[in-house]
Amino acid sequence: MIRFLIFLILAYAAFRVVKAVVWPKEKIIRGPDGGVIDEMVQDPYCKTYIPKREAVRKIIGGETYSFCSEECAKKFESQKGS
């Protein structure tokens, strides 16, 4: 019985470690605010609203922007100059 309890504690600890390692990756894929699936973001180039999880994210000049497509990202970047 004690062995079983120790196993449970270890399993829980392992679960927490795995969760801590896996979950932030998931967040990064889905968006910076914790993966709110239906949140909409605006493309700063064409002004279209797109679901955050489908947006093309680019870091331009130290700021993160969300675009509807790679094309808009490139156009916006060249428009910004730098």
Residues 24-63 touching Zn ion, rule: CB under 5 A, are 43, 46, 48
CB of 52 vs Zn ion, minimal distance in Å: 14
* Cα distance between residue 77 and residue 82, in whole Å: 8
CB of 50 vs Zn ion, minimal distance in Å: 8
| Residue from 53, 62, 59, 54 nearest 73 by CA | 59
**In this chain, which residue has its C-beta nearest to Zn ion?**
72
Which residue of 52, 55, 65, 72 would you call a contact of Zn ion, by CB under 5 A? 72
At a CB cut-off of 8 Å and minimum separation 6, what does 50 contact? 40, 41, 42, 43, 66, 67, 68
Provide the binding-site residues for Zn ion, judged by CB under 5 A.
43, 46, 48, 68, 72
